[in-house]
Structure 1
Amino acid sequence: MGDFTFSSDFWSWWVIVLTVGNILGCWWLIVWTMKKRAGEAASGDVTHHTWDETLQEYNNPLPRWWLWLFYITLVFAVIYLVLYPGLGKFRGVLGWTGEVRYEKEMAQAEAKYGPIFANYAEQEIPALAADEEAVRTGRRLFLNYCATCHGSDARGFPGFPNLTDDAWLFGGDPASIKTSILNGRGGQGLMMAWEGQLGEQGVDEVTEYVLQINGREVNTELARKGQQHYQQMCVSCHGIEGKGNQALGAPDLTDAAWLYGGSPGTIRESIAKGRNGRMPAHKDFLGEDKVHLLAAYVYSLSN
């Protein structure tokens, strides 16, 4: 509860009253249930509660040590709520917060591992990619921060590039890979939706032409009409021959590497609806030294 923000004093006091009330209620319940009552049989004696004619209940209260466990638990709860946040807006006398704990742990990690990454950062990416220890460390970074999108084997998923081949949207050289991780990719490389300008028929025609330059069997008449649309609307990004443009992040349409899938239906959807995948920037999160090593690992996957 240390990071929870209460929007009003009412809810803060609501939590305080409920929490303190429950602790006091539990304390009273234990005392009340263990209180000896008038006429109660002595410990070990029959209580005169009888079931099924002869089945009787003995008075065997909980052992004292067991009872004290409940009291100790309640005392622990009180001490915890005094020291740490848990009572509404009261933050505890220690001033603990999740942010403070996180920053402290990060500072400790930086003091321990920072020099290691700084040493790696002084080496060129191709050299690191040939260093087995550096690659193992880079792989651990990849599994922690990149595998969710690109997969543990780095072969990607629909919408997330395969990093083990040579089909790079923004370039596969060390500098380009590092830039992609540091600054992310987004505004460039976005595929706009063309259905509004082309109409359904026009989208079908461009789809046929894209399939044609990809080396597949197509309806030549539709492809011929699609080529005209392509030259008007697509050539500025994908090039006359459909080879793409890494400066813009425009993919090569002639190879077998399809980011969102290469079926006719998926290609048609990409043309009609557009694509807006984004690669988040990791510079502020990881720091340049770690990104340098991570880039070396990614570079090693296809080199």
Structure 2
Amino acid sequence: MSDFTSNFWSIYVTALTIVGIIACLLLLWITARKKVVATSDNTTGHVWDEDLTEMNNPMPRWWMWLFVITIVFGFGYLAAYPGLGKFTGKLGWTQKGEYDAEMAKAKTELEPLYARFASMKPEDVARDPQAMAIGDRLFMNNCAQCHGSDARGSKGFPNLADGDWLHGGSPEKIRETLTLGRIGNMPPMAAAVGTPEDVRNLAHYVLSLSGSPHDSLRASLGKPKFMACAACHGMDGKGNQALGAPNLTDDIWLHGWGEAAITAMINNGKVNQMPAQAEKLTEAQIGVLAAYVWGLSNKPTAAK
């Protein structure tokens, strides 16, 4: 209810809730008072399907009292817990407080386990079956939504199992990426390259760097235009991990392959973001997750 921008919605919800409960109580009271005139055989006179006769038996009192108890419980619940607009309840319970308490309990219980992993080298953590089981759960809960359950990514989301890294694939670099996040920015370069034909020629030159199918004539014409790209990708096109500039010679394409995809990248640029995990995960969890991700492309031998 803290998202309300005025008191109107708080009052509205409170009134609607109370009126609803009172209306149920009133309906129960009216129904209990209403008497149906019975015939001599104790029926209401209603017959369905030729032989189904409605008897005039009253509702059992215990059944009616269940309704009354439910309504009383509803008032008690709303007094103790949030449910009436901005009123927080006498017990002060909140979902956030419950979540924080559960997370604190889990952290306390797992602290000795994570302490053991913290004293190990990342390479050794990646060989520990228990650590990898924990890392797998962390990955599924926090990373698989973008990188896939098999960590092989998809268009726009890097494959973490192939050994190709934009910012470096050492355990330290992976941990840095998880902690701080990354923002990849490929600026639109069409103005620096020249005409649309120059952009097409450059796209074919970029394709030629990885040995991909290309037009060799256009590639030769586009080679001089690569000077606009060399500041980030290097003269040899092998990229620069310090800048997060991809290697253009390895035939791995994050945002699509072919003339059309590369031309669109040159014309429009691209901004990608890897969100920081420091606010979601503890330092110890990030350490285990970093070792797990490193292990995906290094396949360490499990400890015996």
TM-score, normalization by structure 1: 0.91
Partner of 2:230: 235
Farther-moved stretch of structure 1 (62-71 vs 46-55): 46-55
Match of 2:43 in 1: 46
Q: 1:29 maps to which residue?
A: 27
Specify the alignment match of 1:86 in structure 2: 83
Shift of 1:29: 0.4
1:105 alignment partner in structure 2: 102
1:276 and 2:286 matched: no
Question: How far did 1:52 drift?
Answer: 8.3
Separation (CA, whole Å) in 2 of partners of 1:255 and 1:230: 17
Match runs of 1:238-257 below 5 Å: 238-257=233-252
Give the equivalent residue in structure 2 for 1:160: 157
Alignment partners' CA distance in 2, 1:57 and 1:217? 83
Structure-2 change in CA distance of 1:47 and 1:245 (3 Å): same
Q: Pick from 119, 140, 157 the counterpart of residue 122 of structure 1.
A: 119
* 1:214 has 2:210 as partner: yes
Cα distance in 2 between the residues matched to 1:22 and 1:199: 69
1:200 corresponds to 2:227: no
Q: List runs of 5+ in structure 1 lacking aligned partners.
A: none
The counterpart of 1:140, out of the listed 123, 126, 137, is: 137
Deviation at 1:228, TM superposition (A): 1.3
> Contact 1:49 / 1:56 at 8 angstroms: preserved in 2?
yes
Deviation at 1:56, TM superposition (A): 5.0
1:58 paired residue number: 55
Distance (Å, rounded) in 2 between the aligned partners of 1:223 and 1:54: 90
Q: Could you tell me which residue of structure 1 aligns to residue 301 of structure 2?
A: none
Same amino acid, percent of matched pairs: 45
| Cα distance in 1, alignment partners of residues 162 and 294 from structure 2 | 10
Q: Hey, what does 2:9 align to over in structure 1?
A: 11
Give 1:31 deviation, angstroms: 1.2
Look up the equivalent residue of 2:9 and give its one-letter code.
W
User: 1:4: how far off?
Assistant: 4.4
Runs of 4+ deviating beyond 3 Å:
48-57, 196-199
State which drifts further: 50-59 or 249-258: 50-59
What is the SS of the residue equivalent to 1:283? coil
* CA contact 2:187–2:268 (8 Å) conserved in 1: yes
In the superposition, relative to structure 1, how do residues 69 and 57 fare at CA in structure 2: closer, same or farther (>3 Å)?
same
Please tell me the residue identity of whatever aligns with 1:244. G
Over aligned residue pairs, what C-alpha RMSD do you find?
A: 2.1
The answer (yes or no) to whether the contact 2:207–2:258 under 8 Å persists in 1 is: no
Q: In structure 1, the residue corresponding to 2:273 is in which secondary structure?
A: coil
* Secondary structure of the structure 2 residue equivalent to 1:172: coil
Is the 2:37–2:44 Cα contact (8 Å) retained in structure 1?
yes
Would the aligned equivalents of 2:181 and 2:274 in 1 still touch at CA under 8 Å? yes
Q: Which amino acid aligns with 2:32?
A: M
The secondary structure found in structure 1 opposite 2:24 is: helix
Amino acid at match of 1:227: K
2:140–2:149: 8 Å Cα contact kept in structure 1? Answer: yes
Q: Does residue 1:224 correspond to 2:220, yes or no?
A: yes
Paired residue type of 1:228: P
In the superposition, the TM-score normalised over structure 2's length comes to: 0.91
Output the CA distance in 2 between the equivalents of 1:219 and 1:257.
Answer: 19
Change (3 A) 1:140 1:217: closer
